[in-house]
């Protein structure tokens, strides 16, 4: 009987964990998963807060997230999943406006009445439009300007695009925008309000369940294990200075990160350059607890031109604060150039800068009632999905024999998210199984 094929998975986010789950079901594979940080979970990774676990970046599920919902059932976690009523507002012209229902849109005073009507019709059209191909080469900014008018763009859409994509805001493909509207509009229960899913104990319950199942199956999991280089001319990787052979390798980190570990081989130069052409923005996220409640909304898009951040989230308006010892839990988030000054600010300075803006939104905000504060940064949090993006998407199978790539830069037209991370893990595992035959 031949020895099991060695599978090396680089990256312990949901894509890598899901791929490991599927591949470890085959007794012909011996699976090792390595993660360079000290914990698993990737962008959905958690940290201890108020006696439970909370994600370092805000997360929730939509009703349309079938891939991860199927996994939740398989792992026996359905009883931990709660479906909660969402509430959304927009901060504009010094006021937070409800932005949850069609009636809220009609009442949105910062936009002209005609702009509100046009925006409603555009959203309805995008909800029911299933063919996104015609949107690929059009920019979201141009298409939405034609559909909704300048007033709606100035008060609603341009601030959101700028907050999400910085200087690239007018280059983003309408196909990406379609997917965002389409998913949100269809995540409604029986025509009612939007329902969002969250786990008792946070998203860390999925990571823990996956890790436990993988270890039960004999999968080797190493954290704090950085891949420095892939070997040239043989199937092996250098991990923390040690040469580790493999039959198949799956890399799940950002595409430019794969370019950095490719062997020095002129035949791979064009491929490495292609990987580097995918640009990313970083993300900074401030989490704080407080005795003070700052309103009734779960999610507030911050659409003022001078705002230093994109989104303000009162997490305990989605999940009951009883889960957090009666404290209110908040996120403040922004997408930033990873080489920019704001991204590099010390935690205390970034916190002070953002807290100094909060009285504009909440005049009674009292920093003396703030308890814990935590700042997390991710250098590759959002890829730039321009109108030429589809041609940039790298193949799953790389030019290196036995080496595969799966990350959120290959998801199109949808954006990154836990559901798509699971879906990609399923897909890449199937491709590796096929290649191993």
- pLDDT tens for each residue of 35-55: 999 999 998 999 999 999 999
What 336-339 contacts at long range (C-beta under 8 Å, 24+ apart), as own/partner pairs, is 336/166, 336/281, 336/282, 336/283, 336/284, 337/166, 337/281, 337/282, 338/280, 338/281, 338/282, 338/379, 338/380
- Separation of alpha carbons 121 and 139, rounded Å: 19
Give 184's pLDDT tier (boundaries 50, 70, 90): confident
188-204 mean pLDDT: 83
208-230 mean pLDDT: 97
DSSP states of 343-410: TTS-HHHHHHHHHHHHHHH-TT--GGGEEEEEEEEEEEEEE--BTTHHHHPPPSB-SSTTEEE--GGG
Give 181's pLDDT tier (boundaries 50, 70, 90): confident
Is residue 189 scored above 80 in pLDDT?
no
User: What pLDDT score does 183 carry?
Assistant: 75
Residue of 264 and 314 predicted with greater confidence: 314
User: What pLDDT score does 192 carry?
Assistant: 60
Query: Each residue of 300-348: pLDDT tens digit?
Result: 999 999 999 999 999 999 999 999 999 999 999 999 999 999 999 999 9
What does pTM read for this prediction? 0.94
**Nearest Cα to Cα of residue 319 among 306, 309, 329:** 329
Q: Which residue has the tokens 């298409």?
A: 143
Sheet with 227-230, side-by-side order of all strands: 227-230, 236-239, 242-245
**pLDDT, mean over the chain:** 95
- Separation of alpha carbons 158 and 163, rounded Å: 8
Where are the domains positioned within the chain? 5-59+203-278+394-435, 102-184, 280-383
Percentage of the chain surpassing pLDDT 70?
98
Percentage of the chain surpassing pLDDT 90?
92
Q: Which residue has the tokens 């379609």?
A: 178
User: What pLDDT score does 193 carry?
Assistant: 74
Is residue 187 scored above 80 in pLDDT?
no
User: What pLDDT score does 40 carry?
Assistant: 97
Query: Each residue of 75-112: pLDDT tens digit?
Result: 999 999 999 999 999 999 999 999 988 999 999 999 99
What would the CATH number be for the domain defined by 280-383?
3.90.660.10
Give 170's pLDDT tier (boundaries 50, 70, 90): very high
Query: For the domain 5-59+203-278+394-435, what is the CATH superfamily, name and number?
Result: FAD/NAD(P)-binding domain (3.50.50.60)
Query: Each residue of 131-146: pLDDT tens digit?
Result: 999 999 999 999 999 9
User: What pLDDT score does 21 carry?
Assistant: 98
């Amino acid at each position: 009987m031949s020895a099991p094929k060695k599978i090396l998975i680089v990256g312990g986010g949901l894509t890598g964990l899901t791929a490991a789950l599927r591949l470890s079901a085959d007794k012909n594979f011996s699976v090792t998963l390595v993660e360079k940080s000290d914990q698993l979970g990737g962008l959905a990774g958690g940290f201890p807060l108020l006696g439970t676990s909370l994600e370092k970046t805000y997360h929730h599920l939509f009703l349309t997230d079938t891939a991860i919902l199927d996994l939740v059932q398989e792992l026996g976690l359905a009883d931990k999943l709660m479906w909660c009523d969402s509430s959304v507002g927009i901060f504009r012209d010094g006021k937070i406006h409800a932005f949850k229902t069609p009636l809220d849109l009609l009442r949105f005073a910062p936009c002209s009445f005609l702009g509100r009507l046009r925006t409603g019709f555009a959203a309805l059209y995008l909800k029911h439009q299933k063919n996104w191909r015609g949107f690929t080469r059009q920019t979201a900014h141009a298409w939405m300007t034609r559909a909704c008018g300048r007033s709606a763009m100035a008060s609603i859409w341009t601030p959101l695009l700028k907050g999400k994509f910085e200087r690239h805001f007018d280059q983003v493909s309408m196909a990406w925008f379609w997917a965002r509207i389409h998913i949100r509009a269809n995540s409604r229960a029986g025509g009612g309000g939007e329902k969002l899913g969250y786990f008792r104990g946070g998203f860390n319950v999925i990571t823990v369940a996956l890790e436990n199942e993988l270890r039960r199956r004999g999968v080797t999991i190493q954290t704090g294990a950085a891949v420095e280089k892939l070997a040239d001319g043989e199937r092996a990787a250098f991990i923390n200075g040690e040469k580790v052979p493999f039959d198949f390798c799956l890399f799940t980190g950002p595409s430019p990160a794969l370019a950095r570990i490719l062997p020095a081989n002129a035949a791979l130069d064009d491929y490495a350059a292609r990987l580097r052409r995918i640009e990313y923005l970083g993300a900074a996220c401030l989490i704080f607890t407080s005795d003070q409640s700052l309103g009734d909304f779960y999610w507030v898009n911050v659409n003022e031109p001078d705002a230093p951040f994109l989104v303000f989230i009162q997490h305990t308006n989605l999940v009951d604060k009883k889960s957090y010892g009666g404290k209110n839990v908040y996120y403040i988030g922004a997408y930033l150039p990873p080489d920019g000054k704001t991204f590099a600010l010390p935690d205390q300075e970034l916190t002070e800068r953002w807290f100094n803006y909060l009285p504009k939104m909440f005049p009674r905000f009292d920093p003396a009632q703030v308890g814990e504060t935590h700042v997390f940064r991710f250098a590759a949090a959002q890829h730039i999905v321009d109108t030429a993006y589809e041609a940039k998407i790298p193949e799953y199978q790389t030019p290196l024999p036995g080496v595969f790539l799966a990350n959120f830069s290959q998801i199109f037209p949808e954006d990154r998210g836990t559901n798509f991370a699971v879906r990609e893990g399923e897909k890449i595992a199937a491709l590796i199984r096929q290649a191993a035959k």
